[in-house]
Amino acid sequence: MVSFCIKFTLLTQCFVFAIYEDYSFKDFPREELRPLTAAYGLALENYVAKNWTEAITSLETSLRLYRLFKDSARYCASHCSSSTTEEPPVRLGPNLNVYWQLITKALCQRKCRERFPVLLLPPPGETILEDFSKRTPYKYLHFAHSMVNDLQNAIPCVFTYLQRNPGDQELQDLMDQYQAQYNLTGFLIDYEERPYESYFIKGVKLVNSADYGSSTDQLEEALKLYLREYELCQYECEGVSQLPPDMDLYSAIADVFVETLKCKLKCEDSLKPNVGGFFVENLMSTIYHYLQFAYYKLNDGRSAVQCAHSYSLFEPEDQVMKQNLVYYEAYSEEWGLQPEHFTPRPEALKHYNQAAAQKHILTFAHKYMAMDDEVSTINTPSFVKTHSSKIPFGVEGFLWSRRSRISGQRVSGRGV
């Protein structure tokens, strides 16, 4: 159990120090720049020594350095991926052309990284990166702030930590105590909230309140922002890979590539929003599910059927959605639907096929290169070129299966 007790008669609304106030990865103060490993190590030393004020300062510095490291790596990977590759000076065969592409991208990365000093420092190890990915420093920050009787700053830190770790029952119980004793309005701040999360929650609430017109705006924005964040997460994986020493060229490239693929396949899991203490599984398909229903209610059959097909890409065995598609097929003339409408949306198809390709390559590497990790458990879906559903006619009515993914429970379908 938490071995401290804080007694406050009143939790006053006052300025809460924002860890990332005035933060800019392109204009980071030189005096704060240091290896993340050293900064985090100092923070933990102060924490263990119960030097709470110094621990708070070092932990906040470490969090800013971690964000700087991520943002800088993302920027360079994104920039070099989108940059036009210079044409080779001579005509190259297919094999040499691959190396030309590799070398030009590497040169772009090298030039870009020279602009960001944090990328020239010794990189953090896997254990430290995992700590920050799990938001562990916020757990330490909460405790340290509590030890100096600073509940105003402790609560946002524990809230941020619990958004990623809702299963930490000890701290969840403590948060429940805070909520029972104090008015926490203005203090439940998630320092690591992703841009799409608030739009998704607003969109779901609007669907549930039958404001379908407004809900589609929010959900479409959530989808757009999620795909952008997913893309940045993929770039981040490319930016933090380290070339292992003492390996031949091909083995080194293959190993780094496989490690990068594994990182990319974790993006969906790392981007799951926490709503009410539960992670929203399969966010993209969930958004398409809500969009499909909202567009149906707005009598926009063309948008609805494309969202239904997009959902079915990710959830092909959902029986209720299959019946929904039967409905659209049966009433296609009434809705003015053409064959081209019975396909997933382009961004859904692109996202699905990208993940499928990554899983296939990773499975291949595990099978033929004796990679000894969790790759063998990956399901490898088929690629999709088109998604034309020739479903039998004859099912009347529209069945809506609202999966209560937010609460973690499945609700059976009902007629609309």
DSSP 29-97: -GGG---HHHHHHHHHHHHHTT-HHHHHHHHHHHHHHHHHHHHHHHHHHHHHHHSPPPPPSS---HHHH
Domain boundary among 181, 206, 221: 181
How far apart, in whole angstroms, are the C-alpha atoms of residue 234 and residue 152? Answer: 35
4 assigned to some structural domain: no
Domain boundary among 125, 148, 181: 181
How far apart, in whole angstroms, are the C-alpha atoms of residue 157 and residue 138? Answer: 5
- pLDDT (0 to 100) of residue 357: 87
CA 357 to chain centre: 19
User: What is the domain range of residue 351?
Assistant: 196-317+330-387
Same domain as 91, residue 232 = no
- pLDDT (0 to 100) of residue 401: 36
How far apart, in whole angstroms, are the C-alpha atoms of residue 228 and residue 47? Answer: 36
Average pLDDT on 12-39 reads: 79
Same domain as 370, residue 275 = yes
Same domain as 216, residue 176 = no
Same domain as 142, residue 239 = no
Same domain as 140, residue 206 = no
Same domain as 209, residue 170 = no
Q: How confident is the model at residue 387 (pLDDT cuts 50, 70, 90)?
A: very low
Domain boundary among 155, 181, 207: 181
How far apart, in whole angstroms, are the C-alpha atoms of residue 200 and residue 218? Answer: 7
1 assigned to some structural domain: no
How far apart, in whole angstroms, are the C-alpha atoms of residue 113 and residue 207? Answer: 45
Work out how many domains the chain is built from and give that number.
Answer: 2
Same domain as 367, residue 232 = yes
Q: Is 152 helix (H, G, I), strand (E, B) or coil?
A: helix
Same domain as 129, residue 255 = no
- pLDDT (0 to 100) of residue 391: 26
Q: How confident is the model at residue 242 (pLDDT cuts 50, 70, 90)?
A: low
16 assigned to some structural domain: no
Same domain as 125, residue 250 = no
pLDDT digits (tens, 9 = 90+) for 367-380: 766 554 444 444 54
- Distances in Å between the Cα of 119 and the Cα atoms of 37, 78, 258, 293 are 13, 15, 22, 46
Indicate whether 86 pLDDT > 90. no
Same domain as 200, residue 136 = no
Higher pLDDT, 408 or 111: 111
Same domain as 245, residue 155 = no
- pLDDT (0 to 100) of residue 239: 77
Average pLDDT on 401-408 reads: 33
Question: DSSP class of residue 399?
Answer: E
398 assigned to some structural domain: no
21 assigned to some structural domain: no
For 125, other C-beta atoms within 10 Å of its C-beta total 12
Average pLDDT on 268-272 reads: 94
- pLDDT (0 to 100) of residue 17: 52
Same domain as 147, residue 100 = yes
20 assigned to some structural domain: no
Indicate whether 237 pLDDT > 60. yes
404 assigned to some structural domain: no
